[in-house]
Amino acid sequence: MQVIANPKNSSEFLVSAKTNDKIVFADLQVHSKHARATSKDLSIQNLTKWGKIKGLNLIGTGDFQHPLHRKHIDESLVEDDKGILHTPNKDMAFLWQTEVSLMFSQGGKRRAVHLLIFSPNTSTTNKITSYLGSKGRLDYDGRPIFGMSCKQLVHDLKSLNQEIEIIPAHCMTPWFGLFGSKSGFDSLEECFEEESKNIFAIESGMSADPPMLWRFKEVTEGKARVVSFSDAHSFWPWRLGREATIFDTPELTYKNIINAIRTGNGLKATIETPPSYGRYHYDGHRNCNFSCSPEETKKLNGICPHCQKPLTIGVDYRVEEIAKESQGHEPNNAVPFYDILPLHELLALYLSSSLNAKKTWQLYNELIEKFQNEFNILLNIEKEDLLKNKVDAKLAEIIVLNRKNKLSIKPGYDGEYGVVEMPSLPEGQRKLF
């Protein structure tokens, strides 16, 4: 597929159906079955199968330092001379990737930050694993916890190999995001200090999207680019690839992918879920079944009206706290993006069913059989072609509205996903579509 940006509005662009091997759809934040709260069936084989159905070309290995998962990687994939891992028949490519959780004190405050780590080859991966093993246990969780600062980790890893890439994951989430309201920082420099020069990107996470992050000094000045990955805890297509980054590279190599992240050259676009769909977009309390906008939070002085305890402050509020630019600011180096929901969400909305219902799966499989993969359906197939292939007009309209980011979503909060709402027509029209 070839991505063609509209220079007048970086949130609007087209995907042609022409095959282009230079375009890479990548989800570089996944986990293994050895991480907490993940599917017991997470495997390289299932990631490959469902990654192809989703439309991905490149996936992170996840949790490469975990001894059991590392054994699985070594048994399932073969590394080429350019730092890319392949399945035996080369139907999916993988990148050495893991995620760590750092918990430490800095500036008189408890901090907790999740960082993604990418490795250029097996030899460096072994060195990273040995280093992490010297700091704590690696066998108890696929996403291990270490009591060191972000600055220390970056310094030590860069001392091993300058080609190692470190990216703050889901940078805005309250509990473990770089900029999170509960334990985060107000800037890259505050967190990484002199090592901030080695941080070239931040990962948006589900509750934020590029226009929110474009308002930050680091992004608008070009010091850090915005990338997007799924943080998948299962291989199901409503998790895997729900967020991804699209690269335009002359050849699939580790160096080309990392160079695109560091310089923006070859960073074509990101696929985002609408921020309101994320689990921490609004403020609120899940146990109290209460959520509210930042404006309402201010009126409440940040206190839950039900339990009288402090609200969990979400991403929308937090952006306003630390943003340096006004809403709507778009930097010169802005990369195009899509705000889209996974296809299963659209089908469940259309059928009034659940994501995993039999009838949802049946319709999903029918669409994949007709249109090759999910990204092709979400981003590429015109409404007329959907209708010609006997897709119901109501569903076709939902797909198009999703592509234009015009579906209404009740915002998520305090760990609860947002809820997609059936669109309505202007008053006076009898039918929905």
Check which CATH number belongs to the domain holding 164 and give it: 3.20.20.140
- Reduced to 3 states (helix: H, G, I; strand: E, B; else coil), residue 54 is helix
- Residues 140 and 8 reside in one and the same domain: yes
- Residues 266 and 363 reside in one and the same domain: no
In this prediction, residue 21 carries a pLDDT of 63
Tally the C-alpha atoms within 13 A of residue 313's C-alpha that lie toward its C-beta.
22
Asked whether the beta carbons of 174 and 180 are under 8 A apart, the reply is yes
d(CA 248, CA 2): 9
In a domain, 285, yes or no: no
123-159, pLDDT tens digit by residue? 999 999 999 999 999 999 999 999 999 999 999 999 9
In a domain, 79, yes or no: yes
d(CA 420, CA 112): 31
In this prediction, residue 22 carries a pLDDT of 86
Residue at which a domain ends, from 247, 276, 305: 276
In a domain, 373, yes or no: yes
- Residues 117 and 196 reside in one and the same domain: yes
In a domain, 197, yes or no: yes
| 337 Cβ contact list (under 8 Å, min separation 6) | 10, 11, 209, 210, 226, 228, 269, 270, 271, 272
Please give the backbone phi and psi of residue 98, each rounded to the nearest 5 degrees, phi first. -150, 175
- Residues 272 and 347 reside in one and the same domain: no
Compute the chain's Rg from CA coordinates: 21
Q: Which residue has the tokens 């206190």?
A: 303
- What letter would DSSP give residue 128? H
Taking residue 393's Cβ as centre, other Cβ atoms within 10 Å add up to 13
Over the range 99-111, which residues count as b (16 or more CB within 10 Å of their CB) and which as e? bbebebebeeeeb
- Residues 70 and 165 reside in one and the same domain: yes
Please give the backbone phi and psi of residue 401, each rounded to the nearest 5 degrees, phi first. -60, -40
Residues of the chain falling short of pLDDT 50: 1-19, 425-433
Asked whether the beta carbons of 340 and 402 are under 8 A apart, the reply is yes
- Reduced to 3 states (helix: H, G, I; strand: E, B; else coil), residue 268 is strand
In a domain, 22, yes or no: yes
Residue at which a domain ends, from 221, 245, 276: 276
d(CA 316, CA 312): 12
Q: Are strands 408-410 and 419-421 parallel, antiparallel or unpaired?
A: antiparallel
d(CA 178, CA 184): 5
Amino acid present at 382: E
Helices then strands (H, E): number in the chain?
Answer: 15, 20
* Token duo for residue 10: 């970086």
In this prediction, residue 291 carries a pLDDT of 98
- Residues 266 and 346 reside in one and the same domain: no
**E strands along 119-258, which residues?**
145-146, 165-168, 201-203, 225-227, 244-248
- How many structural domains does the chain have? 2
In a domain, 314, yes or no: no
Query: Which domain, by its residues, includes 17?
Result: 2-276
SS (H, E, C) 292-349: ECHHHHHHCCCECCCCCCECECCHHHHHHHHCCCCCCCCCCCCCCEEECCCHHHHHHH
In a domain, 351, yes or no: yes
Please state the pTM of the whole predicted model.
0.94
Q: At what angle do helices 67-76 and 44-54 cross, to 10 degrees?
A: 60
- Residues 260 and 351 reside in one and the same domain: no
Residue at which a domain ends, from 251, 276, 301: 276
Considering only CA atoms, which of 28, 9, 154, 32 is closest in space to residue 95? 28
Asked whether the beta carbons of 394 and 347 are under 8 A apart, the reply is no
- Residues 50 and 189 reside in one and the same domain: yes
Asked whether the beta carbons of 122 and 94 are under 8 A apart, the reply is no
d(CA 303, CA 151): 34
- What letter would DSSP give residue 416? B
In a domain, 75, yes or no: yes
